Every structure is written in C-alpha cells, then in structure tokens.
Structure 1
Amino acid sequence: MNTTLAHLSRRILPAVLGITVIAGCGGSGGAPAAKGTPSSALPAPSAPATSSSPSPSPSPTPTVTPSGDADPALKPFYGQQIAWSSCPADPAKKDVDMSDFQCGTAHVPLDYGNPGGDTVDLALMRKQAVHQDQRLGSLFLNPGGPGGSGLDLLTNAATSSFGNLNNRYDLIGFDPRGVGKSTAVHCLDDSARDQLDAQDHAGPTSVKDFGAACEAKSGKLLPFVGTVNAARDLDVLRGAVGDQKLNYLGFSYGTYLGTFYANQFPDRTGRLVLDGAMDPSVSPLDGDVAQMVGFEGVYERFAADCVNQSQCPLGSDAGAAAKKAADFLDGLQAHPLTSPTSGRKLTQALGWTGAMDMLYGDAKSWEYLRIGLTQAMQKHQPDLLLAFADDYNGRDQQGHFSNQADANQAINCADDGSTPPTDDQLQQALQQLHAKAPYLTNHMTLDDVRAAMDCADWPVHGSTPPQVLKATGSAPILVVGSTGDDATPYAWAQHLAGSLANATLLTRDGDGHTGYDKSSCIKTAVDAFLIDGTMPAAGTHCPTTAASSGS
C-alpha cells in the first residue's frame, strides 16, 4: 500500500490542533486513538428515563435531563442515563491533570434496522462547563480521521484550545463506533502494521490480506461502521446527555460526519461548526487526486521557505530545493536509512509519510520538517522523520499502534458507495498526478493508484455514493475553509457552504489544515457563533495568526 496516496481523501488521519506525539510540535499531529477491545457480548442499554427536555436553543441549563425519541424501539437508547465517573488512569496521559474529566459509556444499536439486536459501546469523556449557572448545554467534538479519538482531542486541547467554550459548555469528546475505546475495529497486530506502513509499494495481495485480517477479527462490526450510522449515534448521544439540539465542532472528517448529521436530523441542529470541510459530492478518486495536488503546492512552498532559513539542507536555490528533497525521499527506496538507536529503517514510504505529517501544519511544523530533513540528509539520522511518520500512523514509542489506521480503512470502505474506477480512469488519475504533483508522485505506479482505491477488494461494500447534501431545514451552519489547506482543499469548503441550505463560509487565508488553531480571528469568530449565536458576515476572511488559548 503506497502511503502517499492510500492515506489521503477520507483516508487521511486526524490532523487538528497541533496534537502530536512529539512534544512541542505543531504539525498535522493526528490525535492518536486509544487502544480498545472489541466486545463479543455487548451490554444492553440502560432503562429509559422520563423527564422534561431543555429548551430548543442554547440557553443556560444548569441541569441535564435525558430526552426521548419518537421511535419506540429507540427510546431505551435515547433515554439511557450515562453514568459519569472519574476517568481510569491512563499512562499515556500521565502529564495531563485528569481530575476535571469524567468518563462514561453509552450504548447504541449495532444495526439501526434491528435495534433489539446487538449493541455497540461508545466511549465518552466530559469536561463540565466552568460556569454552570451560565451553561449552554453540551458541545460535541470530533477531531477527524476517520479514526481519530475524541477522548484524546478533549484531554489534549480542552484547556489550551477550547477554554472559552468550556466556560459555557460541557465539552464532550467521543470515540465513534469502530474507534479507540469504543467497540473498535481491529485488523493487524503491531508487527504486521509496522511492515505494512514501511512498505514502499503495494504488493499484489496487500489489500486483500488486510481486508481478510479485518474480517477475521471484526467481521461482525465492519458492515455497520459507516458515517450514516455514526451520525445516528451522535443523535442518540445528544438525547442521552439531555440536549434537545446538537451543538458540534468538527474538524476534517468531522465535518463529513457533521454534514451527514445535519442532513439526517436538520430539525435537531443547534450550532454546528465544520472546520477543514470535506465535500460529500467528491468521489474518492477525485478526492485523492485533489488532495495530492494540494499537498504538492504546500510542499513547494515549504521548500521555497526552507532556502530562506539559516539552516536548510536543500541549498539556496528555490527552484532546485523541492527536487532535492524529493530525490532524497525517493532514494530511500533503494537506500533506506537505519536508526542508530532503534535499528528501524526509514523507507521511502515512511520518509514521505513523515514529511507529509508536517506539511499539514504551519510555519512551526515546517521548522520541524526542516530539522528532520537536515538530520536525515546531512547526518544520516532518521529518528525525527521516523517520529513524524509514527505520529501520522498512530504508533507510540513502544511500537504499539492505536486502531486509528484500521478504523480509517474500515469506515472509508463502509462509506464508499462509488462505482469502482476502471483501469482507464486510474491511468488518467496517474497522469494527472504526474502532471500536477510531480515531486510527490514521481515514484507512483498504476498499481499504487489502484491500491489506493482499495475498497473494491474490501469484505464490505459501501452504500454511500458521492452526493450533494443540503440539510434543508437546519439551523445556520458555519463552514470554515483555509485557502492553503492541502488535506481538504478550499474548493471543498466553498462547495459545501454553497450546497447546504443554511450555511455561511468563513475563510482563513494561509497554509495548513483547518483554521481554528491557526488564526485568532477564526477562533474568535467560531467562539462567538458557538457561544452567542453570532454568525460572521458572509465573505469574511481572516489572516493566519497565532490563536490564543482563550482559557
């Protein structure tokens, strides 16, 4: 499986708020999904509770009461009482003060067509509003992916990024079905995942073997992990915490989930923000090509910026810098670098993965990439680039993987209802990539592109074709797009905002994926909308500036 294409489109892993496993980095980060265990005997939902519902729009509501749903078969799920309690100790969060966080579990149907059958556990984490007398309700957070852990997003960013929002909202992070500490998809063990991620080119059986491993370990879950079901779960969670309307802040793939929610439940939308917007009307193949072209542009801008810095391993010629770095990374296929500390090899696939991990970010992450390339190119030390690749792939320092890559694949394929591309279409895509993204795709072959469209050989066939979603009847929705976003091109945000029946586009001018953490102007506007309901004027543009913590 070729990393530089197969992990794109909704195949990209979470990349928001500078959350990385490398202390101090501000790149794509991907909040690493916590490891979970699939459940073979899922507990039944709690008995329904009867009580009044809060007011339809966000307003001070000091107490939380569960609300029901019109479908009698689903009322036990909507009415369940979440037993919030202190979160269990987590060695991965030993530097985080967990005393202000509460954890709980909700239960939802595995198959909404058979709500009386098996159930799925959803892991939740809550940080209650600081000012309970001014509480507006709950704000659900999703970091993207698919495969990103909302629990990790909350613990890593509740104070640093969401402080203003936490004054008035209970912040709730959740792991969607298939992810992290919820009932999770598991496919490969650590050793097999290591081998797959380091593989420079797709083998003839790589995709089929991966799918077979997922079916063997998680076959019962695979047909039901798609975004349509995740959106239904989100509505159950809304009811279970006692909110009559959903307030939601989603990043990257989280915008896809939020869009599907708004389209399925327009009358239950409260204040929704979709940052780093995906366009549901774009086919997976077209999306992969568009993303790679976007990354190419950012890569070239990184190289041009590098030659103006005091220490750059790419020389002083801006015209030659991008080629020099690409030649080095491509050369790792024949001459991988071996880490003197761990003995691990930096392959072409891992080198490009590490580089692209940092291309998600802003100038700070470009600095880290520059240092990583310097160490590898001049000192033959690959450890920093390996660390960036591990960050992207969800690998911790002990060599253990989160399930984010397994979940990413499973959810993408459960969603992918597009017609499989023909060989001619794949060849045309490869020609486009070579023409429009030559540095990043010079090494790619037709087999690599075919492997990227790996759902054709997946055990489950998706049921969600590319489509325009309008969410007619929804409350106003705020869509945030960034002009230099490589992972979710700005054109997607423009089209989504224009397609939704009641949406406003807020634009950040600058590079990097998502806007909330990269612009104090964007952050101020988003917070004002979520807290006061104040929508920014149509056509508003914000510069890229340091976003304050707002704690």
Structure 2
Amino acid sequence: MARMRTVAALAAALTATVLAAPPQADGSAGHSPYGQTVDWAGCPGVHGPRSMECGTLTVPRDYADPKAGDLDVAVSRIPATGPGPRLGSLVVNFGGPGIPGITELGERTAAGELSRLNRRYDLIGFDPRGVGRSSPVDCGDLSGVTATDLAGQARQVAQACRKHSGALLPWVGTPNAARDLDVVRSALGDDRLAYLGFSYGGRLGSVYAHEFPQHIGRMVLDGVPDPTLDDTETALAQAAAFQHALDDFAADCVARGCPVPGRTAAQVVAGMKTAAHSLGEGGLATVTGQLDRAGYLQGVQNALYSKDDWPYLREALSALRDGDGEPMMQLAYPGQLGQLAQPARLPALDSTWSTPDNYEMAKLAIDCRDTPERHTPAGVHALDPRFTAASAVFGTSIEATLLACTGWPPGDGASRRVAAPTAPQALLVSTTADPATPYPGAAHMAAALGNGSRVLTYRGEGHGAYFAHDPCVTGAVEAYLIDGAMPGGRAVC
C-alpha cells in the first residue's frame, strides 16, 4: 500500500497546460496508440514468477495532439496457471501514486498473495506514466534543497523537477494514466477491462470508469479514496483516522505489555507524543542518519497502515527506549536505509529497466498535477486548530502536506470527476479503521459513480482489506472477479 509522506519527510528525503481531452474510444485519431500488441520478453531485475513477461507500449504524450511526441508505458504479464478456463486479463494497480506496478505484482505473486486469481486470469502489472520504467519523472540530485522552511523546501524540489522533467510534468496525472490504461486493455486483446485497484488505484479505476464506461468489466476498488473531498478535507479526515488507528494500536500495546509507560491507551499515546517532542530537531544518531521528530512520526504513521506491522512498531518503541533509533528509521524510510534523511546522499534517478524506483518524485508530480489547490504558509497556519483537534499526534505533520505542491503550477480537478452511470457496477471494499482512506470514502465513491456499485465493509484495521487475509474479504473479492457473484446489499465481513 502507498505510504503518505509529509513535506518534511520529502524535503528531508529528498508550465502546466490544460489536460488533454480524452481520445476517441475506437482510437480513430491520427497516430492512434490503439492496435498495438506487446512484444513480450523477459523482465531483467524484477523478482517474480519464472513465467513473468514484460514489454513496452507507446502512448501519446498529449492525447489531444498525438503528433506532439510519445511516452513509454511498461507492462508485465503473469500467465494464468489453471486449473480452470482462462477468464482473460486482470490489471492490478497497487496505488501510490508512484508505486511501480511491475515490481509490486512480481513480488506479491511470487509470495502467493494473488494465486487464486492467477489461476483464471493473466495478471497484468503496469507502471503508470511517470513511474518506474514508464518515462519516469526524474528530479535529479536534490542536494540543492537547502531551505529551512517547508514551503521553501517544496519550492526547491519543484524547481529541480522542472529542470530535469519539465517536458513531462504537464502530462502525468490520473486522467492521462486512465487513457493509457485503455491502450493497455486494447493491446491485451480484451474488449472489457477487468481491474483490481488498491488505494490510489481506486482513483485511477474510477476515472477510467468515467472516461471509458463501455469498456468496464469486473472492477474491484479496495481502500477507496473519497472523490468528494478537497485537499484540506482529505488531510483532516486522514489526521482523524490515523489518530484513531494510533489509539487502537495503543490499546493493543497495553494488552500485550507496552514498552511505552502507561496503563491505558490514552497514557501510551501521551507517552508517544512526549517521545516525539523529546527528539526535537536534533534527533538521535543512528547508523543510517538522524532520527528526528519528523522521522519518528513518519515511522509510527507508516506502521499503522497494516496491523501486521504493529509488532515491528512495538519493537521499534522498545529499541528507542533503550537509545536505539535504527528500527524506527527503518519504519520511517522502508527500503531506503535512511538515505532519504540526507538529501545530499540521494542518488540521481536511474531510468533503466533494472533500477526503476522513483516513487517519491513520481507521487509528488502526479499528486500536484491532480489538484488545482495551492496553499500558502499563512493559510495552512490558520488551519492549526482544526488539525490539532483532529489529531494531537499527527495533526501538524499531516497539515504540512498541504504545502507539498508549493512552486508547482496548478493542476486541475479532473481526477475527481468519476460519474459513470452507464458503467457496470463495481465492488468497493472499505475498512472501518482504515487510516489512509477513511471508511466513508467508499460510500461517497459509490454515490459519485452513480451506477449502483456495492460497498463491502471490512470491520478491521489497516489500509485496504484484501491483503489483510481475512477469508471473508478474499472470498467475496475472488467470487466477484472469478464468478461475477456480487455481494448482497449491506455486505459486512
């Protein structure tokens, strides 16, 4: 699942045009991207099943002007294994935005997490434009990010991204990614798109349904973003949801013997807040960098995405009590070995097939292209009481994300237009204690789609339900995708 970053974590880690009109669904425009086939070959540098194949499609940079240049979209296929007749292709998007779908699909399939679906479907991964192997956003060496204020840091990051990827940035974003997805569908030879989208993948799937309702097949959206909220409302809802998740963790921690002093959940939460403030700006030296307050909060927040990570958070809190901040650093910057804490050490991005990870910068570029909102420090500061009320622990850091697009040209709100009344109904899966895409979002998405889509409620913790391995949820999702059996009206797991 996607990890939400604060501007502070990004900076420490670390000429918009009107979005093109959608293409003709039959690809009748000149230089049409339709009619391609994928030249499947190996997937060097990707961990996955031995049967996994990869290839590349070509799409217009600007669908309204196909002669203006092309972009690459990398795709992968894991052929259906059987038993049972093949149902076609199932495209999977794991969210972000910015998560490279080819890498994620390979790893999860190799781990057996999608094995039942893979029996009947060819599983299809793809890196959306700007991500991984698909004409990636490159912001270069961020050692020049030296500003001490959040808006200044964000502005310097924006300048670096324009310098290295200025010709690409106006054309990333969800609506164009949805148009690319229809090219992928066509190249696979499918009349209708079967789709499984997690988190941001729900936004991409809903925009696809809006743009191409006639090409929708069986669609499942898990961990559904709320299309009715603006950036401020989204951040406030997340702050409250992450606080709720922290309260639940603290209660579980007390029951198991918590390394943070306190006999009640409220006392443990207060102790964790005190620990964050005690780190201050200087932080605690670790092998991979300084664990400061921002890193501590990021580590705690990341661990709340899945209940499976709660034991690791307890271990990190125990280590921190003994003066060892390294486990918390690993939670804060997973897979990066703390490198994101030192901008001067962030390497220039490599867009070769074997080293495609540009998650942070791709996420930033797509998020900023998907919103017209730009906030000032004074405007954000005026929201302090609302964010503090939403979360005493995370309010300030989540509020800071509203400054992430400082210095970026305004995007537009096209990704919030999801009405698809003529599309087949989709299955929307929502977790009652989801901290990143709070539970009400699925009902709001169903209403916005306007096509009778059903909501499956999972009474549980964490971001997304399918990978929580609850048999009720996995059974319902797989029954729909494989057999077309939609759960009944108020379905609850």
Q: TM-score normalized by structure 1?
A: 0.78
CA contact (8 A) 2:158 2:406 kept: no
CA contact (8 A) 1:87 1:102 kept: yes
C-alpha distance in 2 between matches for 1:490 and 1:449: 20
**229, 239, 245: which is aligned to 2:176?**
229
Alignment correspondent of 2:297: 352
Matches of residues 88-99 of structure 1 in structure 2 within 5 Å? 88-90=44-46, 93=47, 96=48, 98-99=49-50
SS at match of 1:167: helix
Alignment correspondent of 2:124: 172
C-alpha distance in 2 between matches for 1:183 and 1:74: 22
Please tell me whether residue 514 in structure 1 is matched to residue 469 in structure 2: no
Please tell me whether residue 71 in structure 1 is matched to residue 60 in structure 2: no
Seen in structure 2, the aligned counterparts of structure 1 residues 343 and 504 have a Cα distance that, compared at 3 Å, is closer
Alignment correspondent of 1:157: 108
CA contact (8 A) 1:507 1:540 kept: yes
Alignment correspondent of 1:285: 232
C-alpha distance in 2 between matches for 1:432 and 1:212: 31
The residue type paired with residue 37 of structure 2 is Q
Measured after TM superposition, the shift of residue 212 of structure 1 is 0.3
CA contact (8 A) 1:147 1:404 kept: yes
Alignment correspondent of 1:493: 442
CA contact (8 A) 1:207 1:451 kept: no
What's the C-alpha RMSD, in Å, of the aligned pairs?
2.7
Alignment correspondent of 1:384: 327
Seen in structure 2, the aligned counterparts of structure 1 residues 77 and 411 have a Cα distance that, compared at 3 Å, is same
C-alpha distance in 2 between matches for 1:7 and 1:466: 26
Measured after TM superposition, the shift of residue 106 of structure 1 is 0.8
Seen in structure 2, the aligned counterparts of structure 1 residues 395 and 172 have a Cα distance that, compared at 3 Å, is farther
CA contact (8 A) 2:288 2:338 kept: no
Alignment correspondent of 1:148: 99
CA contact (8 A) 1:281 1:468 kept: no
Alignment correspondent of 1:370: 314
Measured after TM superposition, the shift of residue 450 of structure 1 is 6.0
Measured after TM superposition, the shift of residue 457 of structure 1 is 2.1
Alignment correspondent of 1:308: 255
**429, 438, 441: which is aligned to 2:392?**
438
Measured after TM superposition, the shift of residue 309 of structure 1 is 1.1
CA contact (8 A) 1:329 1:352 kept: yes
SS at match of 2:133: coil
Measured after TM superposition, the shift of residue 526 of structure 1 is 0.5
C-alpha distance in 2 between matches for 1:451 and 1:245: 37
C-alpha distance in 1 between matches for 2:417 and 2:150: 35
Alignment correspondent of 2:220: 273
CA contact (8 A) 1:142 1:250 kept: yes
Equivalences, count: 462
Please tell me whether residue 139 in structure 1 is matched to residue 90 in structure 2: yes
C-alpha distance in 1 between matches for 2:83 and 2:180: 26
**126, 129, 135: which is aligned to 1:183?**
135
Measured after TM superposition, the shift of residue 186 of structure 1 is 1.2
C-alpha distance in 2 between matches for 1:88 and 1:389: 29
The residue type paired with residue 310 of structure 2 is W
Measured after TM superposition, the shift of residue 399 of structure 1 is 6.9
CA contact (8 A) 2:131 2:137 kept: yes
SS at match of 1:131: coil
Measured after TM superposition, the shift of residue 239 of structure 1 is 0.2
The residue type paired with residue 72 of structure 1 is S
The CA deviation string for residues 162-208 of structure 1, in whole angstroms up to 9 with x for no partner, is 1111011000110000001111001143756xx88xx9x74452111
Seen in structure 2, the aligned counterparts of structure 1 residues 380 and 515 have a Cα distance that, compared at 3 Å, is same
C-alpha distance in 1 between matches for 2:142 and 2:44: 24
C-alpha distance in 2 between matches for 1:424 and 1:190: 26
C-alpha distance in 2 between matches for 1:273 and 1:219: 34
CA contact (8 A) 1:416 1:455 kept: no
Alignment correspondent of 1:403: 358
CA contact (8 A) 2:375 2:406 kept: no
The residue type paired with residue 332 of structure 2 is A
Q: Which blocks of at least 5 consecutive residues in structure 2 are unaligned?
A: 11-23, 350-356
Seen in structure 2, the aligned counterparts of structure 1 residues 323 and 392 have a Cα distance that, compared at 3 Å, is farther
C-alpha distance in 1 between matches for 2:459 and 2:30: 44
Measured after TM superposition, the shift of residue 126 of structure 1 is 0.8
C-alpha distance in 2 between matches for 1:154 and 1:218: 27
Measured after TM superposition, the shift of residue 273 of structure 1 is 0.5
SS at match of 1:282: coil
Matches of residues 431-470 of structure 1 in structure 2 within 5 Å? 431-441=385-395, 449=399, 452-458=402-408, 460-464=409-413, 467=416, 469-470=418-419
C-alpha distance in 2 between matches for 1:465 and 1:262: 13
Matches of residues 42-121 of structure 1 in structure 2 within 5 Å? 70-73=26-29, 76-90=32-46, 93=47, 96=48, 98-121=49-72
The CA deviation string for residues 424-452 of structure 1, in whole angstroms up to 9 with x for no partner, is 763453211111211223x66xxx84662
SS at match of 2:333: helix
Measured after TM superposition, the shift of residue 257 of structure 1 is 0.3
Alignment correspondent of 1:412: 367
CA contact (8 A) 1:188 1:406 kept: no
SS at match of 1:139: strand
SS at match of 1:323: helix
CA contact (8 A) 2:226 2:442 kept: yes
C-alpha distance in 2 between matches for 1:171 and 1:396: 33
C-alpha distance in 1 between matches for 2:161 and 2:459: 41
C-alpha distance in 2 between matches for 1:241 and 1:466: 25
Alignment correspondent of 2:199: 252
SS at match of 1:177: coil
CA contact (8 A) 2:61 2:70 kept: yes
C-alpha distance in 2 between matches for 1:495 and 1:315: 38
C-alpha distance in 1 between matches for 2:88 and 2:107: 21
Matches of residues 194-205 of structure 1 in structure 2 within 5 Å? 202-205=149-152
CA contact (8 A) 1:484 1:490 kept: yes
Measured after TM superposition, the shift of residue 417 of structure 1 is 2.3
The CA deviation string for residues 477-529 of structure 1, in whole angstroms up to 9 with x for no partner, is 11111110000000111111122222011110011000101121111101111
CA contact (8 A) 1:223 1:414 kept: yes
The CA deviation string for residues 20-39 of structure 1, in whole angstroms up to 9 with x for no partner, is xxxxxxxxxxxxxxxxxxxx
CA contact (8 A) 2:154 2:406 kept: no
Alignment correspondent of 1:61: none
Alignment correspondent of 1:207: 154
CA contact (8 A) 2:219 2:426 kept: yes
